[in-house]
Structure 1
Amino acid sequence: MLTSSLLFIPSLHDFLFSLLPPGLAKGAEMVLVGIIYLTIFAVAGLFLVLLERKVAARFQLRLGPNRVGYGGSMQTLADALKLLSKELTGTVRADKFLFNLAPYFVIITALMALAVLPFSQSMQVFDINIGLFFLIALSSVGVIGILLAGWGSNNKYAMIGAMRSGVQTISYELSVGLSLVTMVLLAGSLQLSQIVEVQKSGWLIVQGHIPALIAFMIFMIAGTAETNRAPFDLVEAESELGAGFHTEYSGMKFAYFFLAEFINMFIIAAIAVIVFFGAWLSPFGITESLPWLGVFWFLGKTFLVVLLMMWFRWTFPRLRVDQLLTLEWKYLLPLNLANLVLMAVTVWLNLTIQF
């Protein structure tokens, strides 16, 4: 099933189709949806950057941003305006086409992933029957932008960072995919809305016993590595590579990479909430009577997972490359395969917990 409409603003949807011919109304609706999601993309990115800086300050016993706006609340907006005004620089030896194309690969894949996330029962742009598979596929496309940035920069530090990203993403994609397949066995569907519906009788992390808990732990570790965040930030290792694959970028092109990292973190957290914690479903069973409350529950759960990922960053030291690959290939992957079999046996024997 594929839907695309302003389902979360039904009066506007009806107004457009009453005012315009069906073709034009559909086009206008798509433009409005795009504008809304671009706004969500920008606001969420700015908020997450501010949240990261505040969380880091708390961990390091300092104040963090506290000058621009109330409590430093406008600091990231000021930084964004500064980046907008900066000159777009590059190197003479750079491959201009690839160098300029790379940021758009990263930002567009993140925006496409946002489009399939169900913020509530009635707020989802695309509800496709292979939603989870679509998200996994997009995570593979995003790394192309990083590889293009490293290669196109014609800089040895950028190239090393890009190659590290390729190795890291290819490796940890396996664990991300297998942990989600483990939960698909339990849910019985790849469609995100159906996965949430199954959880009306209990969150999947509870229904699935120990295999679901193991799958969640592996997903969080591998998802953090997929977003190139500490302790898996070898791609941008400041002490070794300057800034890694985006060393030569400035202005808004640098901001695209920076923003995409935080949006990808939000997407990983949102997938965890959808697959393991019931997405928009309330623990108190009142989401159905108050549809907009579903957005509150979804965002609340998602930001708790985001805080967990930030906790990882400011707690653990950076791994070496050999430790990074050893963790995946010698530990996470075999554990994931064994857990997949264990979940299959659990579902076959009908041992899931129902409420």
Structure 2
Amino acid sequence: MDSAFIIEKSVLIVVVFAITMIMAMYSTWAERKVAAFLQDRVGPNRAGWGGLLQPLADGMKLFAKEEFEPDTKNRFLFFVGPAIAMSTALMTSAVIPWGDKLHIFGRDVVLQATDIDGSLLYIFAIVSIGVYGIMIGGWASNNKFSLMGAVRAASQMVSYEVAMGLSVIALIMMTGTLSLKEISVQQAGMNWNVFYQPVGFLIFLICAFAETNRTPFDLAECESELIGGYHTEYSSMKMGFYLFAEYANMFISSTILAVLYFGGYNYPGMQWMVDNVGVNTANILGIGVLFIKICFFIFFYMWVRWTIPRFRYDQLMNLGWKILIPLSIINIVITGICILAFN
């Protein structure tokens, strides 16, 4: 392994980390702007042009706020909870293909921090660890409302991970690979998986809402019942880590949706651009196309939040166990029959 390769990957990791943090930060601004638009009001407009510096002001406020901690907390786990939530939200970006490759200084730079054969397994493994951040934070607070919110979040995330995993199985049967890079390559042009797996995409999308604790599945934080849920006792940047983790998860889940079902960085005429304009221009445009898809899904998350009321908890669990899991199993069976019939 040469030093140039190590430098290349190190720079890429730093860039991906920075982009994830910036997207999470400005998603808070976009959330308030989208809510204001849908509710016919202005939204943040004081800090910077159009309120663009509002996320920086919010970050400075969180850093400067005094920390309040319950006397009865488990001190070690109280710190570990938000750290796990934030770390798992950032680690999933390591295997995402942000583009094909760029030719720089005589080298082909692959726009993916690491390409492992089991990229999808890695993502599901990291996502499943994320539930510990919420559960530990709620339990360590020694507050019954926090604990109830943590239990709700944990049971919700575990339940919907089952349906999400089953929906991806049908996609794996069709693509024959667990590598996100290979899945992206197979969707060249407009050969997007959403046209072949519309039911799987719908199931995955619904489960993504539940996994990120977004409305209408934000039962873990509903103020009318649980004050603030699992992070009720948190303040300052520990609270900020939980909030950042939610928006980072929303960014990553939007990216995975775009990569799995909407072609990732592929766009119509990409091969023509590579042949006639150049590989760098074509792939930079591909990165832009991927981020357009990501921003659409982030907007969709926000649109749904400010449009649909939250479910009751029994409705949430019934949807996961009685509708989505059977539907995803039926989708697997139909996918298998179609593969046998058409191959």
Same structural fold, with TM-score higher than 0.5 when normalized by the shorter chain = yes
Deviations 1:168-192 (A, max 9, x none): 0111001111111111111110000
Higher alpha-carbon deviation: 224-233 or 119-128: 119-128
Q: In the alignment, which residue of structure 1 is the partner of 2:169? A: 181
Do the aligned residues in 1 keep the contact of 2:81 with 2:137 (CA within 8 Å)?
A: yes
Residue in structure 2 matched with residue 257 of structure 1 by the alignment: 242
Q: Is the 8 A contact 2:13 2:94 kept in 1?
A: no
1:329 is aligned to 2:321: yes
**The residue matched to 1:219 in structure 2 has which SS?**
helix
Where 1:292 maps in the other structure, the secondary structure is: helix
Q: Contact conserved, 2:170 with 2:200, CA < 8 A, in 1?
A: yes
2:150 corresponds to which of 143, 149, 162 = 162
2:114 aligned residue: 126
Q: Within the alignment, does 1:35 sit opposite 2:14 as a pair?
A: yes
SS of residue paired to 1:124: coil
The corresponding residue for 2:87 is 108
CA distance in 2, matches of 1:302, 1:175: 22
- Residue 78 in structure 1 maps to residue 57 in structure 2: yes
Check 1:46–1:193 CA distance in 2 against 1; reply closer, same or farther (3 A cut): same
Partner of 2:135: 147
Q: How do 1:193-342 residues align onto structure 2 when only pairs under 5 Å count?
A: 193-200=181-188, 202-206=191-195, 208=196, 212-285=197-270, 286=272, 288=274, 289=279, 290-342=282-334
- Give, in whole Å, the separation in 1 of the partners of 2:268 and 2:334: 27
Distance 1:248 1:132, change over 3 A: same
Q: 8 Å contact 1:99–1:152 — kept in the other structure?
A: yes
Counterpart CA distance in 2 for 1:46 and 1:333 is: 34
Unaligned runs of 5+ in 2: 101-109
Distance in 2 (alpha carbons) for counterparts of 1:29 and 1:277: 28
Deviation at 1:42, TM superposition (A): 1.9
Q: Distance between the aligned counterparts of 1:243 and 1:287, measured in 2?
A: 50
Q: Which residue of 1 aligns with 2:30?
A: 51
Which SS does the other structure have where 1:258 is aligned? helix
Identify which range, 307-316 or 142-151, moves more after superposition.
307-316
Kept after mapping to 2: 8 A contact 1:287/1:293: no
- Distance (whole Å) between structure 1 residues aligned to residue 322 and residue 21 of structure 2: 39
Superposition CA RMSD, Å: 1.7
In 2, are the aligned partners of 1:161 and 1:241 still within 8 Å (CA)? yes
**Stretch deviating more after TM superposition (306-315 or 126-135):** 306-315
Aligned to 2:103: none
Could you tell me whether the CA contact under 8 Å between 1:149 and 1:246 is conserved in 2?
Answer: yes
Q: What amino acid maps onto 2:68 in structure 1?
A: T
- Which amino acid counterpart does residue 160 of structure 2 have in structure 1? Y
Tell me, yes or no, if the aligned pair for 2:12 and 2:112 is still in contact at 8 Å: no
Distance 2:9 2:237 in 1: 26
**What does 1:14-25 correspond to in 2, within 5 Å?**
17=4
Counterpart position of 1:8: none
Q: Does 1:67 align with 2:46?
A: yes
Q: Which amino acid aligns with 2:135?
A: L
Deviation sequence 1:161-219 (CA, Å, 0-9, x none): 0000111011100111111111111111000010011112611112x1xxx11111111
- Cα distance in structure 2, aligned partners of 1:269 and 1:275: 10
Please state how far the C-alpha of 1:222 moved relative to its aligned partner: 0.9
Deviations 1:25-66 (A, max 9, x none): 83x666544433332232111111111111111111111111
For residues 74 and 140 of structure 1, what CA distance do their matches in structure 2 show? 34
How far the C-alpha of 1:110 sits from its partner, in A, is 1.1
- The size of the alignment, in residue pairs, is 326
TM-score by length of 1: 0.88
Q: Does 2:337 align with 1:345?
A: yes
- Whichever residue aligns with residue 207 of structure 2, its letter is A
What is the aligned partner in structure 2 of residue 89 from structure 1? 68
Q: 1:22 matched to which residue of 2? A: none
1:139 CA displacement:
1.1
1:159 & 1:170 partners in 2: Cα distance? 16
CA contact (8 A) 1:287 1:294 kept: no
Letter aligned with residue 336 of structure 2: A
